[in-house]
Amino acid sequence: MSQKEIVISDVRKEYVNPIAELVQLACQFDSNIVLVNDNRKINAKSIMGIMAFNPTSGMSVNIVADGSDEKEALVAMEKFLVCS
């Protein structure tokens, strides 16, 4: 299992449809990917979960990836969420 805490940038300025694009990115990986904020744990491959999670600029999130491609998934999710 790999994890990293990040602070979300303003993804709404970088992407046309950030929630759908985030889910599409997560679905490219075999690993389970979870976003954790406070006591909320959301499956990054669930569009409804991400919509409810509502990732916003300045939010501190722990990305947790577990599986065969967890390191690649973690890097990709971090790049997306911090807009780098």
Question: Cα–Cα distance between 30 and 52 in angstroms, integer?
Answer: 23
Residue 81's pLDDT is 93
Categorize the per-residue pLDDT at 82 as very low, low, confident or very high, splitting at 50, 70 and 90. Answer: very high
| Domains defined along the chain, listed by start | 2-82 (3.30.1340.10)
Amino acid making up residue 78 = E
- Written as six digits, the tokens of 31 are 């690993």
Burial of 16 (0-12, 13-18, 19+ CB in 10 A): exposed
Does the structure show a pLDDT above 80 at 12? no
Flag the least confident range among 6-10, 13-17, 35-39, 49-53: 13-17
